[in-house]
Chain A
Amino acid sequence: MTPLAGIGARRRRSDRVARTMLAVATGLALVPLVLILFYLVKQGLGAWSPSFFTTDPSGRFLGDPGGIRSAILGTIEIVALASAIAIPAGIGVALYLVEYGRDGRFATAVRYFVDVMTGVPSIAFGLFIYITLVLATGFGGFAGWKGSLALALLMLPIVTRSAEVALTLVPESLREAALALGAPRWRVVARVVLPTALPGLVTGVLLAVARAAGETAPLLFTATIVKETTANLAAPMNSLPAQIFSDVGQAQDRLVARAWGAALTLVVMILVLTTLARLVSRRSRIA
């Protein structure tokens, strides 16, 4: 019995060492995360007030700096338009890849390019729209919708990839069952595949939206930054990332504080979106 006892003790020791190392690594990874959240809340919460959300930035360096209303509304408008463009397009491409293209040569090429697009830095999208739509004469200057376009380009590969995964997860047996009942393929997609993949699709879409809401670089070159709340997407429009970018560099403490407040707001908005995504995906599960 003694040899068995010896082996056991040795194994328990190495097990403990491994566990400790893993705990340390996890702790190390969590520390910056916790620090960020802590700082955000500490610095940002102070800037929050009712007027913070209901007034526009005043543009004044002295006196009342104003709130971030135009930034919040601007973000919502720009991201909404970007989503309206990117979501149908992204799901459409995913549908093509999964239902019709499958392993064909063209489909494989499309998949490759989508993969490449996910790796393109967001500033490149901004620059692309800047050069083609902002600088080029006859198109006017900065505008909210141009920012939406840049964000849509950013969102498109994300939506496509996650939608493709969600659609692929739908078991082939369901498609077969629907086809065998005598349904044309488009009906099978519309009535069976899409409803079944819906939770996954929604999750992917919400995550893409959350990502787009936080991107700064594309907006700097396209929608730029203004002070007033405007509903006119054809004119320059404010947004949270742009506002933060502008405020952070200022000397005035109150402006910097406003930047923190805006950052916290943005994080909270994204948190809400991701929580929604998780709830949706948890509620319905594919058998």
Chain B
Amino acid sequence: MSFQPAKTGMTDPPRTTHPTAAPTPAVSSGLGDRRAQTRARSVTLRNLHAYYGDQHAVNGVWLEFPANEVTAIIGPSGCGKSTMVRCINRMHEEVPGARAVGTVLLDDLDIYGDGTDVVAVRRAVGMVFQKPNPFPTMSVFDNVAAGLRLTGTRGSELRDRVEHSLKAAGLWDEVHGRLAQPGIGLSGGQQQRLCIARTLAVEPEVILMDEPCSALDPVATLKIEELVAELSRRYTIVVVTHNMQQAARVADSTAFMLNGELVEHGPTGRMFTNPGDPRTEQYVTGKFG
């Protein structure tokens, strides 16, 4: 089975320097302290299939998310975009009866390889959900610190990292006076940025965003979109979105999915002015019902 590149305009993914015959090491061993570096990892999907029991939700996707770029995934409801993205941080398998088959590489580490630590994968690949979900029993500070406490970070280092994450999420100015107040007391847009700060605190390399703005008002949406552009300098970002205008504003490249398959993938500008596949053209111009 030969490697099948994504459609029009997409270059081949970079050749890896390590032979893929050898079993890849556990992801945790490849992850060090990220604070010094700014280059994130790329993500590569090779022939990815995902199932919910018998239902074939993702059907043979080959796709690359280049490092430090924002890639948007668009497509109608039920096309499998959320499912595909959840395979990248191995959250898909948390659904009873769900499984994923294929290869997902973080740079050249296969996260589905034998002996890979799921927990370490999820620390390297963070996720922001559609509806903001701060922990209700925790304060703003504790929410951001939640992930850090799991790894045993304590004391002043913890405080520094929390402050740093809140600043990176653009929330510090608004909450530094009320860190002890409950996280759920913030507005919707602030809660979502709190969730982003919580994800950033663990210092992932890749951030997955599943329709991050669909529950927010336009002003909050704009703030988060600006944040995404800012964050892409340090992280690789994948955004699933229903809103094509958002994909157009935010993403370097865009992938269109339909019925579990990847139809087309290319630079965002081209996808929205001159798409190659007629199905993309139909979806993007709204000719779908």
| Contact present between A and B (CB < 8 A) | yes
Residues of A within 8 A of B (CB): 102-103, 171, 173-174, 176-184, 187, 191-192, 195-196, 198, 284, 286-287
Task: Please tell me if the beta carbons of A171 and B133 are within 8 angstroms of each other in the complex.
Answer: yes
In this assembly, does B198 line the interface, its C-beta being within 8 Å of a C-beta of chain A? yes
In this assembly, does B150 line the interface, its C-beta being within 8 Å of a C-beta of chain A? yes
A sample of 9 inter-chain contacts (CB < 8 A) reads A173-B129, A173-B131, A177-B133, A177-B195, A180-B127, A181-B198, A181-B199, A191-B150, A192-B135
Task: Please tell me if the beta carbons of A176 and B136 are within 8 angstroms of each other in the complex.
Answer: no
Report the bound CA distance from A286 to B134 in whole Å: 11
In this assembly, does B217 line the interface, its C-beta being within 8 Å of a C-beta of chain A? no
Residue among A102, A173, A182 with max Cβ neighbours from chain B (10 Å)? A182
Task: Please tell me if the beta carbons of A187 and B150 are within 8 angstroms of each other in the complex.
Answer: yes
In this assembly, does B126 line the interface, its C-beta being within 8 Å of a C-beta of chain A? yes
Residues of B within 8 A of A195 (CB): 137
- Label chain A's interface by main secondary structure: helix
Report the bound CA distance from A286 to B195 in whole Å: 17
Residues of B within 8 A of A (CB): 89, 91, 94, 96, 119-123, 126-127, 129, 131, 133, 135-137, 146-147, 149-150, 184, 195, 198-199, 202
Task: Please tell me if the beta carbons of B146 and A191 are within 8 angstroms of each other in the complex.
Answer: yes
Task: Please tell me if the beta carbons of B135 and A179 are within 8 angstroms of each other in the complex.
Answer: no
Residues of A within 8 A of B184 (CB): 287
Report the bound CA distance from A177 to B130 in whole Å: 11
Residues of A within 8 A of B89 (CB): 180
Residues of A within 8 A of B122 (CB): 179-182
Residues of B within 8 A of A182 (CB): 119-123, 147, 150, 202
Supposing A176-B91, A176-B94 touch, asked if A181 and B133 sit within 8 A by C-beta, the answer is no
Residues of A within 8 A of B123 (CB): 181-182
Residue among B137, B147, B184, B195 with max Cβ neighbours from chain A (10 Å)? B137
Report the bound CA distance from A255 to B92 in whole Å: 68
B185 CB, nearest partner CB in chain A, Å: 9
How many pairs, one residue from A and one from B, have CB atoms within 8 Å of each other in the complex? 66
B220 CB, nearest partner CB in chain A, Å: 17
Supposing A178-B146, A179-B122, A183-B150 touch, asked if A103 and B195 sit within 8 A by C-beta, the answer is no
B46 CB, nearest partner CB in chain A, Å: 23
A102 CB, nearest partner CB in chain B, Å: 6
Residues of A within 8 A of B121 (CB): 182
Task: Please tell me if the beta carbons of B137 and A181 are within 8 angstroms of each other in the complex.
Answer: no
Residues of B within 8 A of A103 (CB): 96
Contacts A173-B133, A177-B195 aside, 18 further interface pairs with beta carbons under 8 A come to: A173-B129, A174-B133, A174-B136, A178-B146, A180-B89, A180-B126, A180-B127, A180-B199, A182-B119, A182-B123, A182-B147, A182-B150, A183-B119, A184-B119, A192-B146, A196-B136, A196-B137, A286-B136
In the complex, residue of chain A having the shortest beta-carbon distance to the beta carbon of B204: A182
Report the bound CA distance from A55 to B202 in whole Å: 62
The 10 closest A-B pairs by CB, nearest first: A182-B123, A182-B122, A181-B147, A180-B127, A173-B133, A287-B184, A195-B137, A177-B133, A287-B136, A182-B119
**Among candidates B96, B120, B129, residue contacting A177 with C-beta atoms closer than 8 Å:** B129
Residues of B within 8 A of A102 (CB): 96
Report the bound CA distance from A16 to B119 in whole Å: 63
Report the bound CA distance from A95 to B122 in whole Å: 24
Residues of B within 8 A of A287 (CB): 136, 184
Residues of B within 8 A of A184 (CB): 119
Report the bound CA distance from A240 to B270 in whole Å: 81
Report the bound CA distance from A176 to B82 in whole Å: 14
A189 CB, nearest partner CB in chain B, Å: 13
B176 CB, nearest partner CB in chain A, Å: 22
In the complex, residue of chain A having the shortest beta-carbon distance to the beta carbon of B143: A177
In the complex, residue of chain B having the shortest beta-carbon distance to the beta carbon of A173: B133
Residues of B within 8 A of A284 (CB): 137
In the complex, residue of chain A having the shortest beta-carbon distance to the beta carbon of B96: A102
